Amino acid sequence: MSTTLTADVAIVGAGIQGCAAANALAQRGVSVVVLEREYAGRHASGVNAGGVRTMGRHLLELPLALASKKLWHDIGTLVDDDCGFNPVGHLTVAMGPENLAAMQVRGQEITRLGLDHHETLLSAAEVHAMLPMLVGDVAGGSIVKGDGFAIPFRTTQAFRRKAQARGARFLEGAAVQDIRRVDGVWRLSAGDTQVKAPMVINCAGAWAAPIAHMLGDVLPIEAKGSMQIVTGRMPPYLPCVVGLSGAPLAMKQFDNGTLVIGGGQRAPVDVTRRTSSLVPKGLGIAASVATRFFPGLKTASIVRCWSGIEGFSPDGLPMIGFGRDRSVIHAAGFSAHGFQLGPAVGQALADLVVDGKTALPIAHLGPERFSP
């Protein structure tokens, strides 16, 4: 038996962007149906490293990250769950004087733009006081207070639950196979279910390109896997999230003592089977870099590794905005750093639906920048 549902907006994809948009729309009285091929948070939004970071953001993306940071610091009010958010701060260590000089130039650019954001410079002695176990050519560093990390799957599910409590409907196991526009209404077919809505939001992550094609748009999305290492429990080791400028390494330590180690190592993915792989060589590079600068980690045990499928844009910046038809909105290509942006992106997408515009800073992030 076939089922037909109607709504003001259909959202494809129940990652953090889709769930946050559903919550923001439902809060404003807009009826929403979210179609998700698997389950909410199955891919990038549930298996990323959980970074809630404004540190080092591209200057075109930084204003949106700052708007989202304000929402993160009130996340419990927003979704009735603290999402495991831990604002321990983010420290980037400058390995070598050239990287410290780049941090100084970046600070000047942030000041010139008038952004309320402070990446406070630290001396080498101050860095070593925070990280006495660190070795190497430390020239200094930069720290952002209020950055931190959260639990990705828990966060995505919290947005989903809050959206459902406000009336949003979620269809899991609903793979969108066809989208057509008839008499000004989009018809999305997913098995025996059809959803009719005058507006569609594409939040399909690594699969946003084929969804965009069905909607008459072209999005240059490339799917890649992002690998992470999780260690066994260790004594308190890192007082904050730590990254290195000049070496591919990012680490954080959770309350239970486990460390998550990444460093931008990519893995192949199969978008048809929706699976990602682990590349031992890439994991070995991440582990080697970690132990080179933090020798104490040589005694750490690796308890698991993972790789999630994420959608990357050509310039590493997300695509957020209307398609060629203003009944279509895209939010995709977050390039392995979209988790922190989720709360603000949800608000921006709701603004575009209800008001046709948003005061949130997405002007430089529109998908039209890749249009012929």
Which of the residue ranges 55-69, 120-134, 274-288, 352-366 would you say has the lowest mean pLDDT?
274-288
Q: Is the pLDDT of residue 372 over 70?
A: no
The domains of the chain, with CATH numbers, are 3-50+152-220+315-370 (3.50.50.60), 86-146+222-312 (3.30.9.10)
Q: Is the pLDDT of residue 1 over 80?
A: no
Strand 328-332 with 319-322, pairing: antiparallel
pLDDT of residue 194: 97
For the beta carbon of residue 255, count every other beta carbon within 10 angstroms.
8
Asked if 134 and 127 touch (Cβ cutoff 8 Å), the reply is: yes
Q: Who's near 133: CB < 8 A, 6+ residues apart?
A: 237, 294, 295, 296
Report residue 305 as tokens: 């590794």
Asked if 200 and 326 touch (Cβ cutoff 8 Å), the reply is: no
Q: What is the 3-state secondary structure (H, E, C) of the chain?
A: CCEEEECCEEEECCCHHHHHHHHHHHHCCCCEEEEECCCCCCCHHHHCCCEECCCCCCCCCHHHHHHHHHHHCCHHHHHCCCCCCECCCEEEEEECHHHHHHHHHHHHHHHHHCCCCCCEEEEHHHHHHHCCCCCCCEEEEEEECCCEECCHHHHHHHHHHHHHHCCCEEEECCCCCEEEEECCEEEEEECCEEEEECEEEECCHHHHHHHHHHCCCCCCCEEEEEEEEEECCCCCCCCCEEEEECCCCEEEECCCCCEEEECCCEECEECCCCEECCCHHHHHHHHHHHHHHCHHHHHCCEEEEEEEEEEECCCCCCEEEECCCCCEEEEECECCCCCCCHHHHHHHHHHHHHHCCCCCCCHHHCHHHHCC
* Stretch 293-300: mean pLDDT: 94
* Stretch 341-353: mean pLDDT: 98
Residue-wise pLDDT for 162-204, tens only, equals: 999 999 999 999 999 999 999 999 999 999 999 999 999 999 9
Task: To the nearest 10°, report the CA torsion of 151, 152, 153, 154.
Answer: 40
Residue-wise pLDDT for 5-53, tens only, equals: 999 999 999 999 999 999 999 999 999 999 999 999 898 888 888 999 9
Q: Is the pLDDT of residue 266 over 90?
A: no
Q: How confident is the model at residue 69 (pLDDT cuts 50, 70, 90)?
A: very high
Which of the residue ranges 103-117, 126-140, 263-277 would you say has the lowest mean pLDDT?
263-277
* Stretch 274-283: mean pLDDT: 90
